[in-house]
Amino acid sequence: MSNTEMLSEPVARLQGVTKKIGSKTLVSNLTLDIPPGQIFGFLGPNGAGKTTTIRMMVGLISISSGDVLISGHSIKNNYKEAIASVGAIVENPEMYKFLSGYQNLRQFARMVPGVSKQRIDEVVELVGLGQRIHDKVKTYSLGMRQRLGVAQALLNRPKLLVLDEPTNGLDPQGIRELRDYLRLLCREEGTTVFVSSHLLSEMELMCDSVAIIQNGQLLEVKQLKEVGNVTMPIGETLFEVDDAEAALALIGQGTLKSGGLVVEAAREEIAEFNARLVAGGIKVYSIKSLARTLEDQFLEVTGGEGIE
C-alpha cells in the first residue's frame, strides 16, 4: 500500500456495529474500515449477516449498538449528510415498473441536490442502457434492471457505492459487464465500491480486498491484489522429490510435508533451489505452488461450516 493511501481517511468506518433482534444477535460488534478507491468485498455464506450489515450502513434498519461513519458523518445521528455520499442497491434493484427507466432516474434525481439532466444522460451512457431507458421498467430483463439500479446509485456521484449481491441472477456476460464497469468507476471516478457476495470466485476477480464474515462476526480482512509496487509475494512451494530429507539437508530450509519439501521462496529462488537439487543428484518430480486460492482461505477461516 502506498503512503498516500495509508494516510487517507477510510470512506466508511463500521465501529462495533451490532444488530440484535430479541435475543438473537445477527451482527456482532463488527469493526471495519473501508479504504478509499478500492473495490472492497464483503464475503460470507448465506445468513452470515451481510445484508443486515449493509442495511444498517444505509440506515434501512436501526443499529442496536455501535455506529457507521460515512465520510466522517454518523449514519445514526447525521443521516442526511452521511447518506448524501452513498449510492446503493440493497438486494434487488427494485424500480417503479409502471414508469420508464428514465422516469425512475428522474424520481431519484429529484431527491438529491445538483443532479442535472446531463448527469442522468451520463449515467445512462455509462451503464449502456441506450434507448431502452425510455421503455417501461416492466419490459426490462433482470440484467437491464441491474444496470438501471447501478445508474440510480451513481446519480449523486457517490464516494461510496454499496452493492448487495449484485451478481445474483446475472448471466456470466452480465457479471462480466458489471465487473468491468465497477473497475471503470473505481479507476475513473475514484469511487469506493463495497460489494457483498457469497460467490468466492467472483470476489476474487472483482475485489482489491475482502472482509470475511460468518455468523455475524468479522473473521478476517484480506488484501487480494497488492496495490502499488511491492515485491512479488513469497509463497510456499512444494518440491516433490525422491529423497526429501536429503533435499532438506541440501537446501538448508523448509519443512518436510506430503512426501516432499515445502519451502518459502520467491520466484527466482525456486529456480535456484531446483538447480541445486538436480546438481545434488536428487530427482525432482514436480514443483508446485501452494498459494491458496481465496476459496481455500475462505473455507479455512470459516471452518467450512454452514449456518449455525
Q: Does 108 bind another protein (CB under 8 A)?
A: yes
Q: Which one of residues 68, 86, 154, 200 is an interface residue with another protein (CB under 8 A)?
A: 86
Min dist CB 93 to another protein, Å, is 8
Instruction: Report the distance separating Cα 45 and Cα 197, nearest Å.
Output: 8
Phi-psi region of 187 (alpha: psi -120 to 50; beta: other; left: phi over 0): alpha
Instruction: Report the distance separating Cα 247 and Cα 249, nearest Å.
Output: 5
- Cα separations (Å) of 39 from 185, 209, 211, 280, 301? 10, 7, 11, 47, 21
Can you read off the three cell numbers belonging to residue 76?
A: 445514526
List, in order, residues 6 or more apart from 229 with CB less than 8 Å away. Answer: none
Considering beta carbons, is residue 30 or 88 the nearer one to another protein? 88
Taking CB under 8 A as the binding criterion, the range among 104-112, 169-177, 236-244, 291-299 that sits at the site for another protein is: 104-112
Site string for another protein, 54-83 (x = CB under 8 A): -x--xxxxx----------------xxx-x
Q: Which helix (H) or strand (E) holds 84?
A: helix 79-84
Considering beta carbons, is residue 77 or 173 the nearer one to another protein? 77
Considering beta carbons, is residue 61 or 290 the nearer one to another protein? 61
Indicate the burial class of 307 (C-beta count within 10 angstroms; 0-12, 13-18, 19 or more): exposed
* Interaction residues for another protein, span 121-140 (CB under 8 A): none
Cβ–Cβ < 8 Å for 17, 67: yes
By CB under 8 A, the count of residues binding another protein is 34
Q: Which one of residues 6, 24, 77, 111 is an interface residue with another protein (CB under 8 A)?
A: 111
Q: Which one of residues 11, 95, 200, 218 is an interface residue with another protein (CB under 8 A)?
A: 95
Q: Which one of residues 25, 92, 223, 274 is an interface residue with another protein (CB under 8 A)?
A: 92
Closest CA to 173 of 211, 141, 137, 196: 141
Read off the amino acid at residue 145. R
Min dist CB 9 to another protein, Å, is 21
Q: Which one of residues 14, 48, 69, 90 is an interface residue with another protein (CB under 8 A)?
A: 90
Q: Which one of residues 47, 112, 181, 301 is an interface residue with another protein (CB under 8 A)?
A: 112
Taking CB under 8 A as the binding criterion, the range among 101-109, 169-177, 233-241, 247-255 that sits at the site for another protein is: 101-109
Taking CB under 8 A as the binding criterion, the range among 34-42, 113-121, 242-250, 258-266 that sits at the site for another protein is: 113-121
Long-range own/partner contacts, residues 154-157 (CB < 8 A, 24 or more apart): 154/87, 154/123, 154/126, 154/127, 154/185, 154/191, 155/87, 155/105, 155/108, 155/109, 155/112, 155/115, 155/119, 155/120, 155/123, 156/84, 156/85, 156/87, 156/112, 156/114, 156/115, 157/119, 157/189
* Interaction residues for another protein, span 2-31 (CB under 8 A): none
Considering beta carbons, is residue 152 or 237 the nearer one to another protein? 152
- Which residues of this protein are in contact with another protein, per CB under 8 A? 52, 55, 58-62, 79-81, 83-84, 86, 88, 90-99, 103, 107-108, 110-115, 152
